[in-house]
Amino acid sequence: MVHTEIKNYFIAQYAPNPLMVKAPGRINLIGEHTDYNEGLVLPASIEKGIYFAVAPNDLNLVQIETFLTQPEKIVFKLDGSPSQFKSFWGNYFKAIIEILLSKGYPLKGMDCVFGGDIPIGSGLSSSAALCCGFIYAITQISEKELTREEIALIAQKAEHQIGLNCGLMDQYAVLFGKKGNAFLLDCKDLSHKYIPINLTGYSWVLINSNIKHNLAVDSEYNKRRISCENIVRQVQQLKTGVTSLRDITLEDLSTISNATNSTDIMRAGYVIEENQRVRDMIKALTIGDAKLVGSILKKGHWAMSTQYEITTPELDFLVTTGDQLEGVMGSRMMGGGFGGCTINLVQTAKLAKSIAALLQAYKEKTNIDAEYYHLAIDDGVNVLRT
């Protein structure tokens, strides 16, 4: 187990009794690119996670190390200045420490070893897990509590500082997720509730296309956000009380369509319809209608492919091929886009055969080995009792 390895490494290198924190990755059933438009999202936290072994030290240094992906040790002074580092993950820790210090947070010396089993760049929010888990771990060591809402905002700010103008879905899912439940978040007022997933006889699986993205340095994500903001500005000139796409209807879009960039209109239309797909999905899950759930997944995927233009040919191939296989109710690309995983609802009895056929077809078409993960929905960030 990764967390045992991390704990043992910590004990060998630093001190005997580390506190262990787990920060899970997240999936999203539906509601993609709606969060930064004050829309609706339906994610859940998962079993895969990042684990942190932490303990206070009296060196007045924050020492952070991983021996897994991109092995490196970075040492921060308590004024936030780091030792030289090469790994991308160092940027997240640097940003978090800077933000905490700018808020007057009483940072203390601590040692931290982290690592995990969330595939990076696969749309499972390894970076939100990294940020939220680390901030949570700091609050456990420093004994100055921050609420989960505060942690989410700091983690989001760190992403913005690094270059991804993301919303709050990932941070909230990672921090508030609950075993066995999807998490409905209304990004307009950040109210949330849990939606039980009752689909007996069906399984949720992820297929990793192994096309990796780095949203923080691929500006296509940010360009989508700019398109949405352009539309909001245009509609604001005609209608009062508009703060985001959440306040805009498809009819509003048609009134500005002649005078506006058609790509922006198409993207805004996607977001407005995606919010409706979230509402439809909740109904379908509540009545346990797997066929309807599957058809909403597919609609969501093709809207992301043709309207929002954030899928890849490989992801489209996975969805099209899945559609022809027995027992696959539906699937869609998941997360920020441009690579990563599809989420699939599959009849459990047909699972093994269909997934094997899908992976084989993918390999033949792309010459890439896709990976398959069975999805287990687990709790949000917490101290791990081992």
Active site residues: 170
Element containing residue 271 per DSSP (H, E): helix 262-287
Pick out residues in 123-142 that bind ligand GLA (CB under 6 A).
125
Q: Which of 212, 382, 351, 126 is nearest to 373 (CA)?
A: 351
Q: Which of 1, 2, 7, 5 is nearest to 112 (CA)?
A: 7
* Residue 183 found at the interface with ligand GLA (CB under 6 A): no
* Residue 119 found at the interface with ligand GLA (CB under 6 A): no
* Residue 32 found at the interface with ligand GLA (CB under 6 A): yes
Report the nearest approach of ligand GLA to the CB of residue 26 (Å).
8
Residues with Cβ < 8 Å from 9, sequence gap 6 or more?
53, 67, 113
Structure-token pair, residue 127: 């970076």
Site string for ligand GLA, 332-351 (x = CB under 6 A): ---xx---------------
For β-strands 72-77 and 61-66, DSSP reports them as: antiparallel
Q: Choose between 327 and 336: whose C-beta lies nearer to ligand GLA.
A: 336
* Residue 177 found at the interface with ligand GLA (CB under 6 A): no
* Residue 301 found at the interface with ligand GLA (CB under 6 A): no
The number of beta carbons lying within 10 Å of the beta carbon of residue 189 is 8
Which of 9, 10, 14, 36: binder of ligand GLA (CB under 6 A)? 36
**Contact predicate 133/26, CB 8 Å:** no
* Residue 185 found at the interface with ligand GLA (CB under 6 A): no
Q: Choose between 36 and 85: whose C-beta lies nearer to ligand GLA.
A: 36
Residues with Cβ < 8 Å from 121, sequence gap 6 or more?
212, 213, 214, 339, 340
Which of 170, 252, 316, 378: binder of ligand GLA (CB under 6 A)? 170
* Residue 274 found at the interface with ligand GLA (CB under 6 A): no
Region near ligand GLA per CB under 6 A, out of 63-71, 85-93, 162-170, 318-326: 162-170
Cα gap 318→361, rounded to integer Å: 9
Task: List phi, psi (to 5°) of 209.
Answer: -70, -15
Which of 35, 98, 111, 264: binder of ligand GLA (CB under 6 A)? 35
Report the nearest approach of ligand GLA to the CB of residue 100 (Å).
20
Q: Choose between 63 and 122: whose C-beta lies nearer to ligand GLA.
A: 122
> CA torsion, points 96, 99, 104, 109, in degrees to nearest 10?
20
* Residue 98 found at the interface with ligand GLA (CB under 6 A): no
Q: Choose between 32 and 252: whose C-beta lies nearer to ligand GLA.
A: 32
CA dist list (Å): 234 to 269, 304, 326: 14, 23, 46
**Contact predicate 56/35, CB 8 Å:** no
User: What is the torsional sign of CA 127, 117, 124, 28?
Assistant: negative
Region near ligand GLA per CB under 6 A, out of 136-144, 167-175, 233-241, 248-256: 167-175
* Residue 33 found at the interface with ligand GLA (CB under 6 A): yes
Report the nearest approach of ligand GLA to the CB of residue 337 (Å).
7
Residues engaged in binding ligand GLA (CB under 6 A): 32-33, 35-36, 125, 166-167, 169-170, 335-336
